[in-house]
A and B are shown apart, each in its own frame.
Chain A
């Protein structure tokens, strides 16, 4: 998947996360979270894993987490990628 346009997914409601994505050559992941101290690293690892699964190699990603469970964070990242991305020509 190639990120070709800016997109967002999710909300800033409690237990959700707002994920913004934009085209970029490198992978830049920025995480803000109400549970930064407890789960900051875990969130970043999940974001990177979803990006790998979707073969995203370049993107600027910002996660604003409001205490979402891991599955929610992964879902919002996936949706943002699908909204901002296009299949790579094989």
Chain B
């Protein structure tokens, strides 16, 4: 389960060698914006050797590759797929065809390196207006797509909107991408909060993302990881309530009752599903669950 994803610049040995200490659920090893055009080759080699030597046990690996319309994209895929990352993140994805093109390249690379077909997933980065409007088609474009990821910086520039901390300008995009991802049955991740020093800001922005339905959130600063992990984990109160829900429906089933209520609220199927999900999450995080 991924709550937090931490960006690590692909050509920085000092960042790579300590990438796994921050307890992020996933690392996004970045070959795109964090690497200048003349160092793309160096970053590919460094990331490959670092992953092979350091392992990063305990973190799922995601590699952000260069856009499909650049010469780097195919080489990125050929170099990264043999590492069997959990997902590859294609960038500037505006339409389903882009996803399919990347998926085909990933498939070839899997075959070439003897990896089972479909082992490597995709998490398209949606960061244009076109991408937002095509989000459902993108999420359904290919079985490799496991999640969508919203990139607000490029998106707001494409929208000709001003990027703000409150984030009203991306309210529609957030709601839309969550809705499309859920409709397609894939996970969905929120854009990073970019002010490293604003502790209240990251708290508020993460709480907002969780309340809107995101699965988790990316971060460019290791300092944001604990906040994201905390806010995207079930609270003790949520776990307690989930147990109560399951207890009461069990009780109702035994007594053959139809309609039941808890704390003055009707308990229907969505609430039961939600309770099961909360307890599953709690279990995965090492607590007591079902």
Residues of A that sit less than 8 Å from B by CB: 9-10, 13-16, 68-72, 74-76, 78-79, 82-83
Q: List 15 A-B contacts (CB under 8 A).
A: A9-B42, A13-B14, A15-B14, A16-B13, A68-B13, A69-B13, A70-B53, A71-B46, A71-B49, A71-B54, A72-B13, A75-B49, A79-B45, A79-B46, A83-B41
State in angstroms the CA–CA spacing of A78 and B54 once bound together: 18
Residues of A within 8 A of B48 (CB): 75
Additional pairs, 13, CB under 8 Å, beyond known A69-B53, A83-B41: A10-B42, A13-B13, A13-B14, A69-B13, A69-B54, A71-B49, A71-B53, A71-B54, A72-B13, A75-B48, A78-B49, A79-B46, A82-B45
Decide if B50 is an interface residue (CB 8 Å cutoff).
yes
State in angstroms the CA–CA spacing of A55 and B151 once bound together: 43
Residues of A within 8 A of B54 (CB): 69, 71
Residues of A within 8 A of B17 (CB): 15, 69, 72
**How distant is B16 from chain A, measured CB to nearest CB, in Å?**
8
Residues of B that sit less than 8 Å from A by CB: 13-14, 16-17, 41-42, 45-46, 48-50, 52-54
State in angstroms the CA–CA spacing of A5 and B97 once bound together: 40
Residues of B within 8 A of A69 (CB): 13, 17, 53-54
State in angstroms the CA–CA spacing of A79 and B11 once bound together: 12
Residues of A within 8 A of B16 (CB): 72
Among residues of B, the one whose C-beta sits closest to the C-beta of A71 is: B53
State in angstroms the CA–CA spacing of A13 and B42 once bound together: 15
Among residues of A, the one whose C-beta sits closest to the C-beta of B50 is: A71
**How distant is A38 from chain B, measured CB to nearest CB, in Å?**
17
Interface residues of A: mostly helix, strand, loop or mixed? helix
Partner of A76, one of B42, B52, B53: B42
Residues of A within 8 A of B41 (CB): 79, 82-83
In contact, B13 and A15 (Cβ under 8 angstroms)? yes
State in angstroms the CA–CA spacing of A15 and B13 once bound together: 6
Residues of B within 8 A of A78 (CB): 45, 49
Among residues of B, the one whose C-beta sits closest to the C-beta of A68 is: B13
State in angstroms the CA–CA spacing of A9 and B49 once bound together: 15
State in angstroms the CA–CA spacing of A69 and B51 once bound together: 13
State in angstroms the CA–CA spacing of A68 and B14 once bound together: 8
State in angstroms the CA–CA spacing of A10 and B48 once bound together: 15
List of 8 A-B pairs having minimum Cβ-Cβ separation, nearest first: A71-B53, A15-B14, A75-B49, A72-B13, A75-B46, A71-B49, A79-B42, A75-B45
